[in-house]
Amino acid sequence: MDFGSFLSALTLLNIALALFGVVAGTIIGSIPGLTATMAVAVLVPITFSMEPASALILLGAIYTGAIYGGAYAAILLNTPGTPSAIATTFDGYPMAKRGDGDLAVALACFASVFGGLVGALALLFLAPPLASVALAFGPVEYFWLSIFGLSLIASLSNGNLMKGLVGGAFGMLLSTVGVAEISADIRLTFGSQTMIGGFDVVGALIGLYCIPVLIDLCAVPDRHLKVEEGVQKVRIGEAARIAMKSKFNLVRSSVIGTLVGILPGAGGSVAGLVAYSEAKRTAKPEQKFGEGEADGIIATESANNATVGGGFIPTLVLGIPGTPPDAVILGALLVQGVRTGPSLFQDGGSIVYTFIYGLLIATVLMLPAGLLIGRYAYKSIVTIPKAVLVPAVGFMTIIGTFAIRNSISDVIIMICLGVFGWVVGRFGFAASPIVLGLILGPIAEQGFVQSWTIGAATNNLTGMFFGRPISQAILAFTILTLLVPFILARKQRKAATGAKS
């Protein structure tokens, strides 16, 4: 770390690149179907002629902007713009529906900036020691981490745990459709060529979250979002006060995001879900998560943006990409001739530190840029007549889903999943547990099968699954998360009985 690198990051070109990256990333991330990975991948070629540090700053800014941009569609359309924003829909859309969409957008911006700064500062000060955390996670820890994520089903089941578990199990089954990664068996396709590629997670997300909203919107003449007369600006002051009040949640979620970001393959969606789960577990009785609770947005948005800095730690220190966009950035670095690895911080220190300072600057620039774009996004969604909004969003879902794998089959699957999600949702089976199963299924399967194989080979299955300290800690958190709703409900019943008597 040196002052020269800080000054290098402050050149006009680097600041302009950081601003451009944040704005471009935010806009791309806000379009359902365009993920942060795609945003980075699409804009990688323009970095080839740049200096390595400037290229990294641009790519980091695009990445951080795209993760934040995903919140707009999550809050205003109930469709995660990127998978990282899944948990943002849980409270963001209910807030928008009751007329607090402007507040939710501002909260998402504050939380994203805070989380992004925590992740970048961890990268600046703690990169080498934290990188060793990634190496401490074996397949069994990944398995338990995914089970921990699935324990969130208990709180997403709208009061019916069994229906949530059914949805989660069904989502996990959907995740196994297609060619098995480990042994290449073709599973659950029933002879259909269309299903061999399996369900694309982003397409499934768009279908399960967005199509039901469109079906409901077009069926009734009510306005799509409630809005009070004359209130058409983002409530910055109010959002800042709420964020300040939830400082503990902000810090905890940002730390969770950084740590999950360090784990290769976990990514922003897992970080957001774990942080949401923790925020809900430690919530006060009067807080109603899932019904438009500000702390839900703060938790998920700070966590998913913290994965940006966290993900760069194993990428730069170990050469192992922490998240999918990091893999693309790693490729761009190799093209630039930068060799990542333990010696990078010594050999290429000036590039690395210039980049980290650039990432910090980009994250700070996200505050004004994000609030400004958020204001226009909110105003646009609120003022567009529903008759135009519904077909426009429908068109975006088609083009966004098609773009993922250039497949019409994916679009058809997306629409069918959407109709399915709408029907089952009407009878108490929420979409979120199905989505959780779909996302965490592959992580759980890989961890489970690898651990099983190792355990069987060493003749120590119990020790493999339950004997490692990190696994035990995650398992303890999982049990705690599952039990807390019952304990709280029992406490409330006792309190109610006490008040009656």
Partner 1 sequence: MNNSTAIQGRFGSLIVTVFFFIAGIVALYDTMSYSDTDSQVFPQTVAIGLILFTSISLVTQFLKPSESEGFGAGIWWRRVLLIVSMLLACGAMPYVGFLPAGVIAFVGGLIAAMHDRWTVRTVLIYWGSGIVVMVAFFTLFKFALQVPLP
444 binds partner 1 (CB under 8 A): yes
The DSSP-derived string for 361-415 is HHHHHHHHHHHHHHHHHHHHHHHS-HHHHHHHHHHHHHHHHHHHHT-HHHHHHHH
453 binds partner 1 (CB under 8 A): yes
Distances in Å between the Cα of 357 and the Cα atoms of 121, 272, 332, 416 are 9, 25, 19, 46
Residue of 3, 12, 49, 183 that binds partner 1 (CB under 8 A) = 183
Binding mask 136-175 for partner 1 (x = CB under 8 A): ------------------------x-xx-xx--xx-xx--
Residue of 117, 403, 436, 439 that binds partner 1 (CB under 8 A) = 403
454 binds partner 1 (CB under 8 A): no
313 binds partner 1 (CB under 8 A): no
Residue 54 half-sphere exposure, CB side, CA atoms within 13 Å?
16
Q: Name the residue among 59, 62, 55, 61 with its Cα closest to residue 28.
A: 62
398 binds partner 1 (CB under 8 A): yes
Work out how close the CB of 205 gets to partner 1 at its nearest, in angstroms, rounded to a whole number: 17
Q: Hey, what are 142's tokens?
A: 């990944």
Work out how close the CB of 299 gets to partner 1 at its nearest, in angstroms, rounded to a whole number: 27
Binding mask 225-244 for partner 1 (x = CB under 8 A): --------------------
Separation between Cα atoms, residue 410 and residue 216, nearest integer Å: 22
336 binds partner 1 (CB under 8 A): no
The DSSP-derived string for 180-243 is -TTT--EES-TT-STTTT---HHHHHHHHHHHHHHHHHHHS-S-SS---TT--S--HHHHHHHH
459 binds partner 1 (CB under 8 A): no
Cβ closer to partner 1: 107 or 434?
A: 434
Residue of 11, 15, 42, 470 that binds partner 1 (CB under 8 A) = 42
Residue 231 half-sphere exposure, CB side, CA atoms within 13 Å?
14
191 binds partner 1 (CB under 8 A): no
Cβ closer to partner 1: 221 or 285?
A: 221
Cβ closer to partner 1: 173 or 480?
A: 173
For residue 178, give the 3-state DSSP assignment. strand
Separation between Cα atoms, residue 477 and residue 148, nearest integer Å: 7
Work out how close the CB of 395 gets to partner 1 at its nearest, in angstroms, rounded to a whole number: 5
Work out how close the CB of 445 gets to partner 1 at its nearest, in angstroms, rounded to a whole number: 4
Residue of 389, 431, 439, 482 that binds partner 1 (CB under 8 A) = 389
464, amino acid identity: M
Q: Give me the residues paired with residue 186 across strands.
A: 179
For 386, residues 6+ apart whose C-beta sits below 8 A from its C-beta are: 217, 218, 223, 224
209 binds partner 1 (CB under 8 A): no
Whether residue 410 contacts residue 199, with contact meaning beta carbons closer than 8 Å, is answered with no
379 binds partner 1 (CB under 8 A): no
Residue of 394, 454, 470, 475 that binds partner 1 (CB under 8 A) = 394
Q: Hey, what are 357's tokens?
A: 């300072």
Residues that bind partner 1 (CB under 8 A): 34, 38, 42, 160, 162-163, 165-166, 169-170, 172-173, 176, 180, 182-185, 187-188, 190, 211, 214-221, 385-392, 394-396, 398-399, 402-403, 406, 408, 411-412, 415, 418-419, 423-424, 426-429, 441, 444-445, 448-449, 452-453
